[in-house]
A and B are shown apart, each in its own frame.
Chain A
Amino acid sequence: MPVQCSSCSEKRAVLKRPKTGHSLCKECFFWAFEEEIHQTIVSAKLFKTGESVGIAASGGKDSTVLAHVMKVLNERYSYGLELMLLSVDEGITGYRDDSLETVKRNQQQYELPLKIVSYEELYGWTMDAIVKQVGLKNNCTFCGVFRRQALDRGAIMLKVDKICTGHNADDVAETVLMNVLRGDIARLRRCTTISTDSENEGVVPRCKPLKYAYEKEIVLYAYFKKLDYFSTECIYSPNAYRGYARTYLKDLESVRPSSIMDVIHSGENLSVREGVKMPVQGTCSRCGYISSQKLCKACVLLEGLNRGLPKLGIGKHHRFHDKILSQQPLTEEEERKLKAVDF
């Protein structure tokens, strides 16, 4: 028994929108999906006319859909933006090299310039080499921290005014849950903001146009539009903590689809009690990147890698910063604790 599209009432409905429960035909779904992103961009004032924007592209579904929709909306509503693709090569054999091939195809399909920056050239370490030293438990910490900086460095090389990433509603909701579970109040307050603003030189403002787009809808959009994307689990991520939050959220979504938006809403409206100690933003004494401590996380992690102390940077490490900055050696006991790795 075919169901009619609830929007145009003309065509047969092909999907039930996870976000709203409406039954829509393909064209009405495309329109609704694109329009909502347009509304997100306009109401949050994410871009200014004439800006150059770097789209963080990994070749995955989110960034492919982001690139496609940004191009469509830029033309449809004359945003006047100059769009570019920015990719990070973490040096993960068999995973990243394949997804980068997809980005190169995207470059041709969307006719956008592309810049690829690699961990190898920026830090002298590939993720393959890092995992050999660090093991499979905390490797995602390294990758995430390095990638954040890598995107900024790449954006500066490209001379773009802004970066936009493909973080979707599910990602933001997962992050809210993760920060609650870890008691990270500072991040909990920051993680739902749709754009960062910065007066810092080394950091390019970034935003999330897909913040309110459900992951399921992104997949449906990519499927029906036959967009080319790469989908494989990163080979080093099976133990990532985020996986637990993701499974939990997916189960919650199947019971009540609005849970995802509701978690984001809870995160956006949290206020922190007076007297709670919050970190103050400053700059890294070594590289000038933004940091709430003397040394930024990337510098600490890199120091740990270069000195064969893989646990430096995992857990509380601010008491080592003075020693690192003044190039004092660590005690034997300190070194022993920082070397211990569980694979």
Chain B
Amino acid sequence: MAASIAIHLEFGGGAELLFNGVKKHHVTLPSQSEPWDMKQLLVWIQRNLLKERPELFVQGDSVRPGILVLINDADWELMVSTGKLCLLSECVCVCVCVCV
């Protein structure tokens, strides 16, 4: 059983408009049997934080093309290619919209 984890979420570049204009969120993800990964985080964000127009944030299993995701100041594209991306406590996840 993995404990619940607290993470910092930040939305920018216009993405914050989908979250009532709030850029920074400090959230606690509930505990679950396996470690949290990005796909699950996106579903959680969509269910609990996203205020409008989900199609502008998620597309299928991932973010809409046109949204950059950085985890602890590093592009998630780097980590995705090195294997399954697991989220750790207190990590900072930033989603920046490239084009509105």
Residues from chain B with a CB closer than 8 A to the CB of A68 are none
- A219 to chain B: closest residue by CB: B98
A231 touching B78, Cβ below 8 Å: no
Contact status of A216 and B74, CB under 8 A, knowing A16-B81, A232-B14, A250-B66: no
A14 touching B96, Cβ below 8 Å: no
Residues from chain A with a CB closer than 8 A to the CB of B83 are 1
Instruction: Give complex CA distance A250, B99 in Å.
Output: 10
Q: Which of B53-100 contact A (CB under 8 A)?
A: 64-66, 68, 70, 73-75, 77-78, 81-83, 94, 96-100
Residues from chain B with a CB closer than 8 A to the CB of A89 are none
CB distance from B62 to the nearest CB of A (A): 9
B68 touching A219, Cβ below 8 Å: yes
Count A-B contacts at CB 8 Å.
58
Q: Which of A266-301 contact B (CB under 8 A)?
A: none
B100 touching A233, Cβ below 8 Å: yes
Q: Which of A15, A215, A233 is within 8 Å of B98, CB to CB?
A: A215
Contact status of A13 and B82, CB under 8 A, knowing A61-B13, A253-B65: no
Q: Which of B74, B94, B99 is within 8 Å of A215, CB to CB?
A: B99
CB distance from B50 to the nearest CB of A (A): 17
A231 touching B75, Cβ below 8 Å: no
Contact status of A246 and B99, CB under 8 A, knowing A16-B75, A231-B14, A232-B17: yes
Residues from chain A with a CB closer than 8 A to the CB of B64 are 250
A216 touching B14, Cβ below 8 Å: no
Q: Which of B17, B78, B94, B98 is within 8 Å of A216, CB to CB?
A: B98
| B12, CB-defined interface residue at 8 Å | yes
CB distance from A93 to the nearest CB of B (A): 17
A16 touching B98, Cβ below 8 Å: no
| A152, CB-defined interface residue at 8 Å | no
- We find that the number of chain B residues with CB closer than 8 angstroms to chain A is 23
Q: Which of B13, B74, B77 is within 8 Å of A231, CB to CB?
A: B13
CB distance from B58 to the nearest CB of A (A): 13
A15 touching B66, Cβ below 8 Å: no
Q: Which of B14, B66, B70 is within 8 Å of A223, CB to CB?
A: B70
A1 touching B68, Cβ below 8 Å: no
| A129, CB-defined interface residue at 8 Å | no
Residues from chain B with a CB closer than 8 A to the CB of A233 are 14, 17, 100
- Residue of B65, B68, B74, B99 with most chain A CB atoms under a 10 A cut-off: B99
Residues from chain B with a CB closer than 8 A to the CB of A219 are 13, 68, 96, 98
Instruction: Give complex CA distance A251, B62 in Å.
Output: 12
Residues from chain A with a CB closer than 8 A to the CB of B68 are 216, 219-220, 223
Instruction: Give complex CA distance A246, B74 in Å.
Output: 26
- Report A223-254 CB contacts with B as 1/0, cut-off 8 Å: 10000000111000000000000100011011
| A23, CB-defined interface residue at 8 Å | yes
- Report B2-36 CB contacts with A as 1/0, cut-off 8 Å: 00000000001110010000000000000000000
A23 touching B78, Cβ below 8 Å: yes
CB distance from A230 to the nearest CB of B (A): 9
Instruction: Give complex CA distance A254, B66 in Å.
Output: 9
CB distance from B15 to the nearest CB of A (A): 9
Instruction: Give complex CA distance A215, B65 in Å.
Output: 12
Residues from chain B with a CB closer than 8 A to the CB of A1 are 82-83
Q: Which of A4-54 contact B (CB under 8 A)?
A: 12-16, 18, 23
- Where the two chains meet, the residues of A that have a C-beta atom closer than 8 Å to any C-beta of B are 1, 3, 12-16, 18, 23, 61, 170, 215-216, 219-220, 223, 231-233, 246, 250-251, 253-254
CB<8 Å pairs between A and B, sample of 11: A1-B82, A3-B82, A13-B74, A14-B75, A15-B77, A215-B98, A219-B98, A223-B68, A223-B70, A233-B14, A251-B65
The 8 A-B residue pairs with the shortest CB-CB distance, nearest first, are A15-B75, A254-B65, A233-B100, A231-B14, A250-B65, A16-B77, A14-B74, A250-B66
Please give 6 more A-B residue pairs, beta carbons under 8 A apart, in addition to A16-B75, A233-B14, A253-B65: A12-B74, A14-B73, A14-B75, A15-B77, A170-B99, A220-B68
